[in-house]
Amino acid sequence: MQKPYITGPDSIAMLGSMPPIRALSSYCLELALAIAEICNVEFISFKKIYPAFLYPGKDLKDDYTFPTIRHHNLKVRQRLTWYNPVTWVVEGMFTKGELLHAQWWSLPLSPIYIITCLGFKLRRRPVVFTVHNISSHEKTLFYYIICRILFKLGDHFIVHSAQNKAQLIKHYSIAPERVTHIPHGPLDFQVQKNVDRDVIRNEMGFDAAEKVILLFGAIRPYKGIDTAIKSFASVLHEIPEARLLIAGKLWEDWKPYKGLIEALGIAGYVTACLRYIPAGEVYKFFDVSDLVVVPYHHFDSQSGVGATAISFHKPMIVTNVGGLPELVTDARYVVAPKDPIAMARVICNCLRDPVQLAEMSAGAKAMAEKIAWPGIAKKTWSVYKICLGS
């Protein structure tokens, strides 16, 4: 195999989740395939990721709508189980690979990650962490404590935004030269070709004249669902043909949001699809939408929803938290968190102006090209070379 770069590992191991496990599989799938274009990848995934009672959404059914994974340089093993520490030890001590690239994001997985990473360290093989969540979304102190322990096993760290890099250095006392900012790439595998947008709109109950605003992803307290609902009520006064489409798995009680929708008198204009959206259905929600909003109240990471919107070249409005501002090419589409009036104003400006929407779509396409996976793989490969002294 001829490598596109001068030196580096012939094979690496990667720890995370792969389909049909849901978790972080969309990101891991794209990254592993990109790295496999450069070297052999031995991917360590899960057979059983963790017990359902630790998952706020409760439903941990696997998703078999992901595309089939095929690459001659990628081997996926799904052996890890939360209830069997022997699988953790075996993967850590016997998996091939000159280094381990661990995707870190979830507190319940910490015992598995500590043991598996320790196995590589005992064999004098470097460990690289991509830190998807600098702190937990719920801001728990225990997450910080566990990260302090786990990160002692890391030789180098990858984060998805400049803000994340500063936070990692500050909160965990990691030297700046050991932290590299590499963006979250677009989730292109979700895009479907030859989609009839009008047919899907009709199936979802929207007509061609309506302007659909999409709020996508798990329903969680930090996601700013209330901000989106309040801003939409103001938008509806200005743009009667506007519609709000909310799609995602419930991680909290829906009743307060339902009460807010009814109190604002907008129930007939809001469509809520409150379930996990399988990978094979994601395209429907983005293809029917005219505009995507990401109104998070607080956030310390980068957004898979934002990466998906970029893949579909969708106009997007985000709040000024975490790495969200880095997803758009114009500061006009970044608003303060918890400010429904400001968000409504920006939404109205966008929906009233087809030229502006087209420019936003072109900006999303440019962003997709800027953070494409070949470039991400090249930057990640450079981190591997640093860790191996190449």
Give the three-state DSSP class for 173: coil
Same domain, 43 and 178: yes
Q: Residue 138: what pLDDT?
A: 64
Name the helix (H) or strand (E) containing 256: helix 255-263
Assess whether 260 and 377 both reside in one domain. Answer: no
Residue 171: pLDDT band (50, 70, 90) is very high
8 A C-beta contact, residue 79 and residue 133: no
How far apart are the two ends of the chain, measured CA to CA in Å? 18
Q: Are 8 and 381 in contact (CB under 8 A)?
A: yes
Q: Are 70 and 126 in the same domain? A: yes
Contact by Cβ (8 Å): 66, 29: yes
In a domain? residue 29: yes
For 100-158, write each residue's pLDDT tens digit.
999 999 999 999 999 999 999 999 999 999 999 887 766 688 999 999 999 999 999 99
**DSSP classification of residue 313:** T
DSSP string over 9-36: -SEEEEES--TTS-TTHHHHHHHHHHHT
Q: Residue 67: inside a domain, yes or no?
A: yes
Indicate the residue type of 229: I
The 10s digit of each residue's pLDDT in 195-250 is 999 999 999 999 999 999 999 999 999 999 999 999 999 999 999 999 999 999 99
Q: Is residue 191 part of a domain?
A: no
- Give the total number of structural domains in the chain: 2
Give the Cα separation of 35 and 43 in Å (integer).
11
Q: Pairing relation of β-strands 291-294 and 211-216?
A: parallel
Secondary structure class of 250 (helix, strand, coil):
strand
Asked if residue 2 belongs to a domain, the reply is no
Q: Are residues 348 and 240 in the same domain?
A: yes
Q: Are residues 270 and 360 in the same domain?
A: yes
Contact by Cβ (8 Å): 351, 166: no
**Residue 101: inside a domain, yes or no?**
yes
C-alpha closest to that of 33 among 22, 43, 46: 43
Both 219 and 110 in one domain: the answer is: no
The answer to whether 216 and 193 have CB atoms below 8 angstroms apart is no
Pair 180, 70 in one domain: yes
Does residue 158 sit in the same domain as residue 228?
Answer: no
pTM: 0.93
Q: Mean of the pLDDT values across residues 276-293? A: 97
My answer on whether 244 and 353 are in the same domain is yes
Q: What is the pLDDT of residue 7?
A: 63
- Quick check: 381 pLDDT over 90? yes
At 225, which CATH number? Answer: 3.40.50.2000
Asked if 103 and 210 sit in the same domain, the reply is no
Q: Domain containing 243: what range?
A: 203-370
Residue 220 shares a structural domain with residue 364: yes
Whether residue 383 lies inside any domain: the answer is yes
Mark whether 146 and 254 lie in a shared domain.
Answer: no
Residue 192, pLDDT above cutoff 80: yes
Q: What is the pLDDT of residues 303-316, one digit of tens each?
A: 899 999 999 999 99
